Amino acid sequence: MAEETRNAGAMPVDIDIFVEAGDWPAEGELTRLVDRAVESAFAETGADGS
């Protein structure tokens, strides 16, 4: 995942997402799944992911 710096002084956050071998969905669906996982991780910590 490309590192983005939207807020000056923002600390980078590493999130590991594992996908097992198999019938993967299209890239667009994978992107949506990653976005949901990242949003959920920020929601759990109470951090602002913007």
Neighbours of 15 (CB within 10 A): 12
How far apart (Å, rounded) are the C-alpha atoms in residues 47 and 50? 9
Dihedral sign of CA atoms 27, 33, 37, 38 in order:
positive
- Domain residues of the chain, as ranges? 15-45
Q: Phi and psi for 30 in degrees, rounded to 5?
A: -60, -40
Per-residue pLDDT of the chain (50 residues; tens, 9 = 90+): 455 545 555 667 777 777 788 888 899 998 998 899 888 888 888 776 55
